[in-house]
Every structure is written in C-alpha cells, then in structure tokens.
Amino acid sequence: MSQTSTLLYGGNIHANGIRLHYLRYGGTAGERATRDSVIIVPGITSPAATWGFVGEHFGTTFDTYVLDVRGRGLSSASDSLDYSLDAQAADLLAFAQTLRLKRYSVVGHSMGGRIGARAARTQPAGLTRLVMVDPPVSGPGRRSYPSQLPWYIDSMALAREGTDAQGMLAFCPTWTEEQRQLRAEWLHTCDERAIRASFEGFHTDDVHMDLPHIGVPVLLMTAGRGDVIRPEDVEEIRTLVPQLAYSHVPDAGHMIPWDDEEGFYRAFNDFLGAPLPVLCRH
C-alpha cells in the first residue's frame, strides 16, 4: 500500500431508486485522467470499507470507486428491498450513469463478479472491461457453492451482538488480526435478508447464460485454494467468452487479496489499461 492515502471521500448517491454508498480513491489527477475509471464490487458479506486497502492501492493508478452493494455497509437495506441479482446489476449500471462515468471497468469479487456479468450482458455504454475474481459458478443443475450459509449467518449474528478480532478467529482463521478486526467492525451492516437472498441466488441464477452476451474484454481470476472454480470450469467459461483472459493466484484462497495481496495486483497485468504498482512494504 502507498504511504500517502489515496482516499478522497466516502459518498452517497440516489440511483436505481435507492441510496448507494461508495468510497472513492485516486481521482482524475495526472495520468489517471487518461485511464478508465474502476468500480470495485465486493462479495456477499464484504462492505466497501473492508475493501479499503484494495481501493487505496488501485487509487494510485486509477480513479477508483468501491461500492457498497445494496443491503451491505451504508447502502439502503430494508425488509421490502429487492435483493436479486438483477436488482444488484441494475444498481451497478445506475451508479456509473449517475456519476457520469464515461468509460469504466468493473472489478467484481465473488458475488460481485456475478453482478458484473449480469450488468455487462446488457452491453451498457461506457463499460470497457470486466474482471471476475473467483466468481461462484454454481447455478441450476450445477454443484453447490462450497461455502455454507451458516458460516455467514452465525458470524453476522455474533457481529450484531458486538464482537472483535478474537470473535472472528473461528470464522477467518487465516486472516490477520487487523483484517479480522475490520470484519468484526463492519459485518453487522450486512442485512441478513440480503445475504440469504444472494446465497440462494448462487444456486438459482444461471450466470453462464449471461457470459456469451458480454461484448467487452473479460479477465477471469481464480484462486489456488477454496474450490470455487475448478480447471474444467475455466475451460467452460472459455467456450462461452471467446475474448477471455485468464490469471491464477496459486497461493491464495477465495479472498485473494487477503491471502496474497501482491499476487492479486500482479494478476491484473495491464488488463485495466495500466499495471498496478508493486506493493510497497513498510
């Protein structure tokens, strides 16, 4: 991570009928003005704040926005909100349009990769690239997603009561204390209704049907551990997305930047229009 923070501000906009919260990094000064913006869409129980360290690094090179998906973080949540994949994809497109982003790439992790694919199938103006980081390949008639729903529900219940890094240890044993503390701080902002709906969607939404309709370059990034995507899954996706680029981070589990942050940045190469800098260690 750079020594000088690239965080500009956190903000809220009204888009697709709801409040969407985001964190912005980098801005458009210098060479960033010549590059496409980047929207980072986190996974099922990852509020934007927990991806701040990634946003910080991306902000050194790109005008970067980290989105709170509806029902997470500081974005809208309610018992009447539509938490479907279609609604999440519509949020993403409305977010970019409301902010008047002329050219932008989407980097979606896990559930965020599926959101990106569903949004990209409509071939929206302005979208230039899609990165799917270890997206679930579960769906109708396919093998189940390897994580179990109680892992999410139980940890969220603990967070709602109030917990700390030690309390998260049983759920995230490979994470650092700092990472677990941040999750303990923000996990209570994940609406259980949203998480249940998204987890069910992992098994009922057919994202493979979206893939052939994507007209922009696509990078698929997979983790060496976690069993979310297997080699045969990569080959199937290649047949559906002829323009697919592929990268693999062998020393990481599903939460790739948590396990191998440098490997995560390196795996982008120059796909986004410029390579991310080597990680500076303090």
By the 8 A CB rule, do 226 and 219 touch?
Answer: no
Q: What amino acid occupies position 180?
A: R
Distance CA(153)–CA(274), nearest Å, equals: 39
Give the pLDDT confidence score for residue 281 in this predicted structure: 57
| Residue 163 covered by a domain | no
Distance CA(219)–CA(256), nearest Å, equals: 15
CB crowding 49-88: b at 16 or more within 10 Å, else e: bbbbbbbbbbbbbbbbbbbbbbbbbbbbbeeebebbbebb
Give the mean pLDDT per block of 10 residues along the chain (282 residues): 81 98 97 97 97 97 98 97 98 98 98 98 97 98 95 96 96 94 97 97 98 98 96 98 97 95 97 92 51
Give the pLDDT confidence score for residue 194 in this predicted structure: 97
How large is the C-alpha radius of gyration of the chain? 17
| Residue 242 covered by a domain | yes
| Residue 44 covered by a domain | yes
Give the pLDDT confidence score for residue 4 in this predicted structure: 87
| Residue 199 covered by a domain | no
Give the pLDDT confidence score for residue 234 in this predicted structure: 98
| Residue 174 covered by a domain | no
Is the model's pTM score more than 0.75?
yes
Number of domains present in the structure of the chain:
1
| Residue 150 covered by a domain | no
| Residue 89 covered by a domain | yes
CATH number of the domain at 41, please.
3.40.50.1820
Contacts of 186 (CB under 8 A, 6+ apart): 47, 49, 50, 73
Instruction: Please name the residue ranges forming H helices in 82-162.
Output: 85-98, 111-120, 149-161
Give the pLDDT confidence score for residue 125 in this predicted structure: 94
Identify the CA nearest to 213 among candidates 113, 83, 120, 92: 120
Q: Which range of residues forms the domain containing residue 118?
A: 7-142+207-266
By the 8 A CB rule, do 61 and 13 touch?
Answer: no
Give the pLDDT confidence score for residue 3 in this predicted structure: 60
Show the CA angle centred on residue 249, arms to residues 243 and 137, nearest 5°: 60
| Residue 105 covered by a domain | yes
Give the pLDDT confidence score for residue 240 in this predicted structure: 98
Give the pLDDT confidence score for residue 1 in this predicted structure: 41
